[in-house]
Homo-oligomer: A and B are copies of this chain.
Amino acid sequence: MELKEYIIVNIDATFDGNLPFKSYKKKVKKGSVFTHFEQLEKKVYFLNEGIVQVEIKSKSEIKILDFFFKNSFFASYSSLLSNSPSDVCITAFTDCEVEIIEYQDLMAAYDSSLLANKLGRIETEKLYLRKVQREKELLTKTAEERYILLLSNHPQIIEQIPIKDISKYLGIQPESLSRIRKKIIS
């Protein structure tokens, strides 16, 4: 989906197609880095096609914090909002197509554009709920329950993401995930 179409479907059905900020498209190869650890984030991305992976350093280990799928926004958002170095690394997990918005252009649009502020508000609400949800899952759900949730929310994940990465995301050993999968299938 293109950003303009996404806005019509999710933000404002009467949107005339004139974005209140510049954006440009880019094709990105699997494995390319959008944002490095410690980099200052300056861009917001809308994912037209592909899967994006977000990693975090927890003590000496690198953990998968999140995946983003097509038709969603991503960025190192706390780096962007607080103008501080990114504590996550964002990578193209598959070949991707993105639309890129410079944050300074978005901020300029925030001054006077109702649409830009609606978009910013609604997408930030989604990111907030995502954080709350993930925190709650980690606090209250077992790895098996979280795997079932992941499958029901993103059934495509099982075809496109290797078991070792799913287990890194769930925070368990690949062997444990294999056991869970066998149990679910049987």
Contacts and interface: CB of A to CB of B under 8 A. Distances in A.
B129 A78 contact: yes
Copies in the complex: 2
Contacts of A125: 81, 120, 124
Contacts of A132: 78, 131
A58 interface: yes
A91 to B, nearest CB: 19
A139 interface: yes
Interface residues on A, range: 20 to 34
Nearest to A12: B111
Nearest to A134: B135
Main secondary structure of the interface of A (DSSP, over half): helix
A34 interface: no
A121 B118 CA distance: 8
A186 interface: no
A12 to B, nearest CB: 10
Nearest to A133: B78
Contacts of A59: 140
Interface in A115-165: 117-118, 120-121, 124-125, 127-129, 131-133, 135-136, 139-140
Given A78-B133, A114-B114, A117-B117, 6 more contacts: A58-B140, A87-B136, A117-B120, A120-B125, A124-B128, A135-B135
